[in-house]
Amino acid sequence: MLLDLHPITIIINLVVLGAAMTVHEFAHNFVAWKMGDEVPKLQGRLTLNPLVHINWIGWLMFAIIGFGILGSAPISPQRMRDPRKGFLAAVAAGPLSNLALAVVFALLLRLLGLSVEGFYAYRSPELIVEPIALIAALLYAMVFWNVLLFVFNIIPLFPIDGWHIVLSLLPGTWLTRMQIPVVIQRGLRPLAEFLMRPAFKWRDWRMASYYVFMALIFLSFLPLGGFSPFGMFIGRPTSALLGFLLF
């Protein structure tokens, strides 16, 4: 899972991930504040200063191995005027901000006619000999990493944003026991319980979801003949979205 350790690549990754993380965490905090949570403002997090948001170790890890905790946002639904809708908006704001950044820089790349040059310059940094190639690589990286962060953060596994988004979308109660077919009640009891209280059961399965998440990360570092579990959930959607935005 190690990325290209070429010095130019590492520097580009650090710059791009620093910017992407800053916007992501700012979006969480800003929307939470708008929804009634005063803590982000009290802690001085309504800023685009990366030093306020950054997780230094996670930032370096992400630039080198492609995974790490970039930052955090001290937001809570209990402090919002409408806990469910407010938290949904605040959590979704993070990945959506990355998608917005990807779209903006993709449009810039296409307007400059540097989509192909940016792809090859970023993938083969040893070939960068002119400033325009470095600029193209940096712009491409802005699109690539923001798309990847968007896709990664909507995976519905704890503690990723996607898990919290699903929690906010699910109702507390759904069907009564009499509305659930007997075959499901008898043969698929976990499903029956989930159908009766979706949000509560989703919260109960939080740790199981976390273990699945950690297992997928662990498997991604093992030599599995080119197969990567995260490739199914992140790689393919990221490649598809990149192709749509740039080519």
- Position 25 pLDDT exceeds 60: yes
Q: What is the mean pLDDT of residues 193-208?
A: 89
- Position 67 pLDDT exceeds 80: no
Residue 197: per-residue pLDDT: 86
Q: Which two tokens stand for residue 114?
A: 């540097």
- Position 144 pLDDT exceeds 80: yes
Residue 19: per-residue pLDDT: 96
Q: What is the mean pLDDT of residues 220-236?
A: 77
Neighbours of 111 (CB within 10 A): 9
Query: In the structure, what pLDDT confidence band is assigned to residue 2 with cuts at 50, 70 and 90?
Result: low
| Three state DSSP letters for 3-35 | CCCCHHHHHHHHHHHHHHHHHHHHHHHHHHHHC
Q: Which two tokens stand for residue 85?
A: 């809708």
Rg (CA), the chain: 20
Q: What is the mean pLDDT of residues 75-98?
A: 96
- Across the chain, what does the average pLDDT equal? 90
Residue at 157: amino acid letter: L
Q: How far apart are CA 150 and CA 92, in angstroms?
A: 10
Query: In the structure, what pLDDT confidence band is assigned to residue 226 with cuts at 50, 70 and 90?
Result: low
Residue 4: per-residue pLDDT: 60
More reliable by pLDDT, 56 or 178: 56
Residue 103: per-residue pLDDT: 98
Q: What is the mean pLDDT of residues 93-99?
A: 98
Least Cα distance to 70 among 57, 87, 89 occurs for 57
Residue 219: per-residue pLDDT: 84
- Position 12 pLDDT exceeds 90: yes
Residue 82: per-residue pLDDT: 93
Q: What is the mean pLDDT of residues 164-183?
A: 82
- Position 193 pLDDT exceeds 90: no
Element (H, E) at 87: helix 83-112
Q: What is the mean pLDDT of residues 78-106?
A: 97
Q: How far apart are CA 151 and CA 196, in angstroms?
A: 30
How do residues 127-139 score in pLDDT, each as one tens digit?
888 999 999 999 9
Q: What is the mean pLDDT of residues 182-190?
A: 82
Residue 106: per-residue pLDDT: 98
Q: Which two tokens stand for residue 88?
A: 């949904």
Residue 3: per-residue pLDDT: 60
Query: In the structure, what pLDDT confidence band is assigned to residue 117 with cuts at 50, 70 and 90?
Result: very high
Q: 123 — phi, psi (to 5°)?
A: -75, -25
